[in-house]
Amino acid sequence: MAAVVLMTLSAAIVFALGLLHVVYTFWGTKLTPRDPALRSRMGEVPLVITRETTMWRAWVGFNASHGMGAMLFGLVYGFLAMAHGDLLFQSPFLLVVGLAMAGGLFALGKLYWFSIPAAGTGISLACYVASILMSHG
């Protein structure tokens, strides 16, 4: 039971961070540059890969899909932990994929983000690892 609770907590943290990221992407100014001129230029400049979008539109899309990916991880691993714990904890494939995602998010948080998502993903990773250890211990 403790393994299920820890896995669910791990998933819930990532889901919450992802949901917050999507909210910040579409509402408010938290994910916009502090320099209004930079925001303006991002809306004017296309990417090298294509002229069909601007840096700003790509920025919004990347942030939205990033948040959606975190939410998907949270939903899937939370559901598996609560509804199909035996399947999850007995599947090396699912456990390794989840560990890679949780570890990857933590690494990105430490390298590229700021303290709150880094701490959140670190706690999520710790809960994830602890859940695996408890389920196999």
> Distance between CA atoms of 23 and 38, rounded to whole angstroms?
22
Tell me how crowded residue 84 is: count the other CB atoms within 10 A of its CB: 13
Model confidence over 109-125: pLDDT tens digits? 999 999 999 999 999 99
The whole-number pLDDT of residue 137 equals 77
Asked if 134 contacts 6 with a C-beta cutoff of 8 angstroms, the reply is yes
What's the predicted TM-score (pTM) here?
A: 0.94
Max intra-chain CA distance, the chain: 56
Place of tokens 């700003």: 56
Asked if 24 contacts 80 with a C-beta cutoff of 8 angstroms, the reply is no
